[in-house]
Each structure stands twice: as C-alpha cells, then as structure tokens.
Structure 1
Amino acid sequence: MCAAPESPSRPIETFVFMDLEATGLPPSQPKIAEMCLFAVTRHALEHPQYRNSFPKPVPLFPRLVDKLCVCINPDKPFTPIASSITGLTNEAFARNKKQSFNLHILQMIAAFFSRQHPPICLVAHNGCGYDFPLLKAELCMLGLLALEEIYCADTIKAMKALDNENQLHQFGYQPNPPGSRKKYALHDLYFKFYKVYPLNSHNAEGDVITLISVFQQRARDLMCWMDSNARPFNTVKAMYKENERDACISKTPGNTQPFYPNRLQMHSQQKVATTRSPNPFPEDDDEPADNHIPLNNRMTDELFIIPDEIKMILVLFLGLIIAWIALKNPV
C-alpha cells in the first residue's frame, strides 16, 4: 500500500496513466505480463477539445500522448482466472518469443520518464492496491530500489475522497437497491459518463484509454487532489520480495545518470550461458581466457617452441661433427 509522506512541492506537469496485466492476484506473487504507460500533459487535460454529443459535449482523447506498451513473458504460469479474464496464456508468449522482465525494460522506463516534463505522477486505478506494489516488486528484483522524483496517485482513492468531500457523488453512482455500495470499477465509471461499456477491458492499453476517458470528465478536480495527495513512488511497499537477480542499481529514471546496462547485461548473459551449457564461452568482443583456448591448438603451438639454450647446444654439437668429419677426411 502507499505511505503518506511529502506531496509534490509544485503542481504536477505530467500524468503517466498506467495499467498492468499479470499472472494473477496476491498472494500468488503475480508477475507482470503486460504494461502500458500513457503520458499526458497537464495542459492537455486542462484544455480538452470536445465533439458535440447529446446531451452534453464529450471530450476528445488527448492528441499529444507518449505511449509505451510492452508484452512481457512472465516466466510463471497464469492462474486459470487471470488467463480467462485477460486472454493471455503462457503458450502465446512462448510462440511469440517474448522476453521476460529484464534490464531492457528498465532502459525503456528510464527513457520514457526522461522525456516527460516534471513533476511526474504515475496514475493507476486501484494503483495503491495492485499496480504500484507489483511494479515495485518487479523493479526491486532487478535491483532498482528507487524512482527518484516520480510520484504516484490512485484514482479510486481520489474519486472516493472527492465524493466524500463535496457530497456530489460525481464519480460513484448509486445502484439498485438503494443503500448498497457505490461502484468504482473502471467499466462502471465509464458507463456512468458515456452510457456504453468500454471496449478491450482487461487489456493494458484498452484500460489505460478507458481510465483517461473517465479522468477527463473531472480532470481539474482530480489533478487538484493529486497535487496535494500524490506520494513518492519510493514510499510504495513492494507486493513481495524475492532474491535479487543482479547487483543493486542506484541510478534512477528521474535522473540523467546512466544505468551502465552493458556491464549488467554481460553479467546476465553469462549467468544464462552457464545454465544452458557446461562450457560457456565469452562474447566475441571479449578476450578469451587461457583456459578457453582449445587444447589441440595449445599443444601444437608448444610442440614447435625450442628454447634458446638448446639451440646453442645443437649448433655446437653440429660444429663438432663437422670438425670431426674434416679431420677424418683431410683434403
């Protein structure tokens, strides 16, 4: 869950809407199978364009949006429920040869955040309950323990807080029968505002599009709440912990410092090679160690190496033979 230390010192400039699809729910220690990030500026959310629609204008989806959508081989079986809901299977990832959550993902996330204008806030529906802790767990397993200057906010918490503050019930609607709990599920909220259910539910990109469309309906109120209540991503507690697979990485996407990925990638590749073959050879660019030289080549080279002392003895011996022959057969 999210802790509650300092909020941003100035208004958030970039809202990065996020959704994750995974192999299941806690406590199964789920693994991310699909990740989608849409970066939308504050200006775009404050100044939307509209299309005429009865009974009121409908905001158009922001035009200038940076997107990062990645399929990730979870290397873990999907639960039957998760597979039926998301439509994702381990067989599909294997057939399409998708990579796991690795250092390339860190590089992409770092590059994506570095292109955004700070302060930056990750936004997810039920983010504090699921998306943020799961992302933190995956990042920690690769050694990335911090995302400096990146904040996060949960739209469910924001909507409930706004409903409680102004008593307008502008987000959750009252279902039948009266007195039952209000619904804050993403597809229910979308239906409340657009009178149709969204397409591509439980698809990371589709859910992000749905979330942004709902967010646009009360964008100013939600952004104002997040300016005061967003929390640093570093304060999110990882959903679970496993042994770190690589050395810790102190560099963070919020800075311009590099990840030094080449050395870490080499370390990972060597570990993979060790598990696949009993004779892991170095990469082509690396100088081979002496014990990697083929034995036959080494023996052939050593066979033709004659020390200088032996050469001198052979020369003297040859000279004596020539002198002896000359004495035996004088001209």
Structure 2
Amino acid sequence: MCGSKTVHIKTFVFLDFETTGLFPEEPLNPLFFHQKPGDTERNASRLLDNYISTTNPRKAPRITELSLISISRARVEGAIAEIASQYGEEESASFDAPPTCPVVKLPCNVHTRQINPELDEAAWVEYGMRKIGKNALIYSRNDLEEKNKFAVEWEGVKLFLDQLPKPVCVLAHNGIKYDFRVLHAELLRAGLLQSNPFSSDIYFVDSYLMFMDLEKEIHDDLRTLTQIVDWRLVSTSSKDPASINGHYPAPEVNREDSGFNGRNQIFRSLSTTGVDETVKITKATWLEQYSTPKKSMPQCGTSNEQAK
C-alpha cells in the first residue's frame, strides 16, 4: 500500500518434530499431488487450511519431541556472505582440487522438549511394533511415558517464541503437509487454539516449497542439459577418455545391472559438485568427445545439423 513500510523478519526459527508416525496415505486426494515449482497461483495459507480440514486430530501423529533453533537475521545474512566468499575462493582454485562444502558456524538458541504422546495401550503396542521396523522412531515407551504432556510443555515453547525479536519466521521442511498439520492437531486436542497460541507477528513458511520455487531455474537448466546430451555416447567407465566423470572418476560398473544406467552413474559421480561444476564438466566432455576429425559437434538447438 502507498506509504506502507516494509518490515523485515528479525528472527528465523527452524522447527522439527519427532513423532509417533505419519499421516494415513490418501493417494486419490488431489491435495496430495506434487506441487509445481514456481507456481504463482499457489496460496500456501489456503493449502494448509485444506490439509487441516481433511485431518482427523484423533488419527494424526503425536509429537514425541519438539525442537526449535532460533537465529537472528543479521547472523543469517553474515553466513550467506561468508559462504559466498568461500565459494568464490573455491571457484578460483585449481579445477583438479576436489570440491568442498562451505562450512559456517552460527550462534543459535536451541530449545527442545520431549513429550508424552498419551497413547492408549493398543496405540503403544502399535508404536512399539513400528519402532522395531523403522529406525526413525528413536524413543521407546519407557523414554516417553515419564515426560510431560504436550499441554504442559507448550507453555515453555510459547514463552521461547514470545521472547524472540519480532517479526519471527518459523520454517519447517514440508511443513504444510506434515509439521504444521501435526502441530495444529496437537493444539486442537489440548484445547489451546482458542487461547491464541501465536502472536500476530509470527509467520510460518514451508521451506520445501520455498526452495522448490527458488531453484526452479536451476532444475529447468538441468532438465534442458540432460535432454541435449546424447547419452549413448557417455561411458560409465572412468578409464574411457570420453567419460563425463572428468576429474571425479567413478568405480567400474556393470551396465547390465538391474535398475542402473549411464545417467544414474553420471549424477552419482557429480553428486558432490555444484550446478556450475556440472555444466563445466559436461561442456569439457563434449569438447573432448567431438575434438577428433571423425566427429562433429552439433549446433545448439539443431539436432540434425553438424557444426562447420
């Protein structure tokens, strides 16, 4: 609006749960279709409301551990600048040097609460059986039964959030489909929704959708890149001079192995490199592949013409 002042987020909070399981799958529900990257028509708030409206709180997973990590905006911006600096130094280094992942340490406040999910006997038995088969369930019944209930622990969580510099942005990966739905179900069961559990200057963001939108251009470029490569000319052997592995050789692989192909091997060998490195390796490989007099390099966008 005219005359309005932009207010920047002052604190970022990263939210994650341990729970008793997952939501029941509803494969025919259109809500569970994959979201499109860069969808300008998507309304995240309405999407969350729709998910909540189809959620039965009694069947929703229960929280067994709630963890929050808060960090100021200034520290996040400082970390971004530091990572950019480290990445620039890596770019100027020798191409023969193995790629490294920038590491930046950040001062954070960590808040964790373990919670008794208040299961009945049948649900505890089911949880125990599920825990045997899935390492993701890390807490036993004995670990959790001595903990406080969600309603008791929520007071401390709310105090933690209320004391942070505002505005606050709470981020959860795949939060709309999972974390925010779980939290809403817990607040509803505990009768805490009516007591205004969040102040008006606390906002929620699904980081999965955020990164999917931010990286749309990168994914589109990679899709184009994989489509223009003639994969029949790419070898999975590190001994082949035409191999796309370049300076990052991969182990010998049986091309006849079930479920394996050249494309899988390429992305496995490039999984430790960035997008820019991937493009560099691909270009170098093509130049090497078509550098002999017997072969010509196709013009960009003309699959049937040969370069003069």
TM score, norm. by length of structure 1:
0.45
**TM-score, normalised via structure 2 length:** 0.48
Answer with 1 or 2: which has the greater Rg.
Answer: 1
Larger RCO (alpha carbons 8 Å, 6+ apart): 1
